[in-house]
Amino acid sequence: MSKMEPVSSNTRMQKDKDWWKGAVIYQVYPRSYQDSDGDGVGDLAGIVQRLPYIASLGVDAVWISPFFTSPMKDFGYDVSNYCDVDPMFGTLADFDALIATAHQNGLKVMIDLVLSHTSDQHPWFQDSKTSRDADKADWYVWADPKDDGTPPNNWLSIFGGTGWQWNGAREQYYLHNFLSSQPDLNFWQPDVQQALLGVAKFWLERGVDGFRLDTINFYMHDKQLRSNPPLPRDQRNSTIAPSVNPYNHQVHLYSKNQPENLAFLRKLRAVMEPYNAAAVGEVGDAQRGLEILGEYTAGDDLMQMCYAFEFLTSARPDASEIARVMGEVDKHAADGWACWAFSNHDVIRHATRWDTPDAGMRAMTTLMMCLRGSACIYQGEELGLREADVAYEDLQDPYGIEFWPDFKGRDGCRTPMVWEASNINGGFSTAEKPWLPVSPDHTRMSVSAQEDDPDALIHHYRRAIALRRRHPALARGEHDGVKTDGDVVYFTRTLGDETVFCAFNLGAKGAELAIPNGNWISIAQDVGGVDAPSGDTLTLGPWQVFIATATIN
């Protein structure tokens, strides 16, 4: 372990406690961002090299997916040591350098904490599985079989099949919501909660500014182990479990989403408070995602933000869907806070999912920067990268391997970042063969190629983010409800004496919209925004936007 100098209390007090509210967060998948040592796998030192680039986008924070010690059966989401760096990513000294460099570049650092489960190689589980009398016997979810030897209930794994795995030494099953090598921790055990709170404090003392909390609604399970009811076929709309997966056939009433989870989240928030740290929780639930988002972000003693999967769907959300989603947030999370994303490491890149023209991609990006909530950008989306086509023999993701060819898994959105079209592997690595192949289609859209093109998408992202930062009402303000008129979605954001009116034509045809009377001043010409109309009727071309400040009469 490298020598660590704790963050001083004065430094903590100087942080804006509400820095997270309206923040733009850039997600880095470390295996695929930058390889500094030529082994074909990205690492922390590589991220350090690229932090000035991330800062140049104008974002507020960087979220780094797991880099902890792990057997990598689920690529870091199976942790075997919460308080160290896996050698493939570097050392704790490399992480300290990352924190220091990020802060020098004005970036907060959020790390991905996987608290619901560990790797089966974690010392805690190695002890727990030995016997029912082991020191950590009840640190995981163990249960006796039914009389016929089958699992204790019908709970399923997201990665396919039963959520229970037999252990001969204990003659019991253990729960795994994901791979069988990812046993679920037992949050009913107070010692487990204290150990995990200690993990959070370890990283806070190293200087992190917050956490992305993986599968936040999976922490607690039903103590009675009751079976889940079936989900009607017409409600099977999950984005994290494809239709070929039986996981999408249940209402996960008892295997997750338990009300007792709130008590643990309050304890975690109390640990975070002295550091002015913030958390964004991943809510994985297709039916109750927004409702849970509201529960977990209510008041000032739970999580600051959560995100659900409403905008990570296969079809591009049209004006009516955006209004519906935002209306549900207003209903369930009026005093909470959402964090929006169009892409991440678990879903097909939205440039492919939505198959939207370039003008539509730009309009949707600007929209995200104007919606109430914070925003996440996934590495490469600022380049307009589409889903890479990864051959079966190159697949790494166990999810894709299990359900191929009906579902190809998540490798297509996890291929390496492309920096320079002329360099081997797009400038990602000097290795002969990176851990995933670099898409030839991606290299033509590299950072260096787009930097030299003033009309490239990367510059639109910078301008849209800068617009949000220039106008606090867009970042932190309230809204008057998202409304629609045909393909046009519109709303007003307010904070203090600043009022911003926003209208977006999300269709391929022109549209007109009656707008409030006011002395409108257009503020979005650099992101394709139209000028203010002379009257009270706004005319928008296909995919055009209008964003303006005004004094309302």
Burial 442-478 (b: 16+ CB within 10 A, else e): bbebbbebbeeeeebbbbbbbbbbebbbebebbbbbe
CA dist 65 and 29 (Å) reads 5
Strand duo 511-514 + 537-540: pairing? antiparallel
Q: Is 44:67 a contact under the CB 8 Å cutoff? A: yes
Q: Is 203 exposed, middle or buried (0-12, 13-18, 19+ CB in 10 A)?
A: buried
- Is 135 a known active-site residue? no
- Is 282 a known active-site residue? yes
Own/partner long-range contacts of 317-323 (Cβ < 8 Å, ≥24 apart): 318/487, 318/506, 318/507, 319/484, 319/486, 319/487, 319/488, 319/489, 319/504, 319/506, 319/507, 320/484, 322/367, 322/482, 322/484, 322/489, 322/506, 323/482, 323/483, 323/484, 323/489
Q: Which residues contact 525 (CB under 8 A, 6 or more apart)?
A: 531
CA dist 367 and 484 (Å) reads 14
CA dist 338 and 368 (Å) reads 12
Catalytic, out of 60, 282, 295, 310:
282
Catalytic, out of 43, 60, 120, 214:
214
* Sign of the dihedral through C-alpha 110, 1, 87, 268: negative
Nearest Cα neighbor of 526 from 463, 474, 469, 470 is: 463
Nearest Cα neighbor of 97 from 190, 8, 3, 170 is: 3
Q: How far is CA 266 from CA 279, 295, 339, 387, 400, in A?
A: 12, 12, 19, 38, 36
Q: Which residues contact 233 (CB under 8 A, 6 or more apart)?
A: none
Angle in degrees, CA 545, 346, 182, rounded to 5:
155
Q: How far is CA 290 from CA 311, 324, 482, in A?
A: 12, 11, 16
Residues assigned a catalytic role: 214, 282
